[in-house]
């Protein structure tokens, strides 16, 4: 929470805006907002590394790259390259590479709280109403609240076949 924020008559701190969620969407919103103001509060529940860099798009592509390389062994014979039958996947080595790359991917977003100082808040935001949000027990007023909380997959019922994104 900023040290000396503006206050409403009821003594709530005022910031403009509050961004809820520090994933790719929230960080992108932050970049835009900071072109106009530093009076921003970024709230994030959990790890600051973003879904994309920590467990999503980026590490999955690093894993798929190894899979694709192995898959291409089937085309080698035709090219006159012999011995592809002997290739094998060393799963621990594949995963060690993915994890090493992943640790590099999320270094940037993970350092967001260090860069933003008291403008970054770790905790779960709760919307109270228009322009009012609760952060770690403190009610904050904001002219705008940008929601970027990501999504979670949810399955309905036991053994449900379809998965939805909520």
Ligand X SMILES: Cc1cc2nc3c(=O)[nH]c(=O)nc-3n(C[C@H](O)[C@H](O)[C@H](O)COP(=O)(O)OP(=O)(O)OC[C@H]3O[C@@H](n4cnc5c(N)ncnc54)[C@H](O)[C@@H]3O)c2cc1C
Site for ligand X, rule CB under 6 A: 20-26, 43-46, 50-52, 55-57, 60, 124-125, 148-150
What is the nearest approach in angstroms of ligand X to the Cβ of residue 106?
A: 10
Instruction: Give 67 or 77: the residue with its C-beta nearer to ligand X.
Output: 67
What is the nearest approach in angstroms of ligand X to the Cβ of residue 149?
A: 3
Instruction: Give 76 or 149: the residue with its C-beta nearer to ligand X.
Output: 149
Instruction: Give 45 or 76: the residue with its C-beta nearer to ligand X.
Output: 45
**Pair 140, 133: CB distance under 8 Å:** yes
125 phi and psi, to 5 degrees? -85, 145
What is the nearest approach in angstroms of ligand X to the Cβ of residue 135?
A: 8
Instruction: Give 57 or 75: the residue with its C-beta nearer to ligand X.
Output: 57
What is the nearest approach in angstroms of ligand X to the Cβ of residue 22?
A: 6
Instruction: Give 16 or 73: the residue with its C-beta nearer to ligand X.
Output: 16
Burial bucket for residue 1 (CB in 10 Å: 0-12, 13-18, 19+):
middle
Burial bucket for residue 48 (CB in 10 Å: 0-12, 13-18, 19+):
buried
- Convert 70-81 to b/e letters by CB count within 10 Å (16 or more is b): eeeeeeeeeeee
8-state DSSP, 36: T
From the list 48, 19, 44, the residue with the least C-alpha distance to 32 is: 19
**Pair 140, 14: CB distance under 8 Å:** yes
What is the nearest approach in angstroms of ligand X to the Cβ of residue 42?
A: 9
């Amino acid at each position: 929470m900023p040290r000396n924020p503006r206050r409403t008559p009821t003594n709530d701190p005022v910031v403009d805006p509050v961004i809820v969620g520090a994933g790719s969407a929230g960080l992108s919103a932050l970049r835009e907002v900071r072109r106009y103001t530093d009076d921003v509060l970024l709230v994030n529940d959990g790890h600051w590394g973003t879904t994309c860099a920590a467990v999503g798009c980026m590490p999955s592509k690093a894993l798929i790259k190894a899979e694709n390389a192995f898959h291409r062994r089937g085309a080698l014979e035709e090219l006159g390259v012999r011995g592809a039958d002997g290739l094998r996947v060393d799963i621990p080595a594949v995963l060690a590479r993915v994890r090493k790359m992943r640790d590099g991917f999320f270094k940037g977003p993970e350092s967001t709280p260090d860069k933003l100082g008291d403008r970054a808040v770790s905790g779960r935001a709760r919307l109270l109403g228009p322009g009012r949000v609760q952060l770690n027990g403190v009610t904050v007023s904001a002219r705008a609240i940008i929601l970027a909380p990501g999504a979670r997959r949810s399955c309905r019922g036991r053994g449900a076949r379809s998965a939805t994104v909520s």
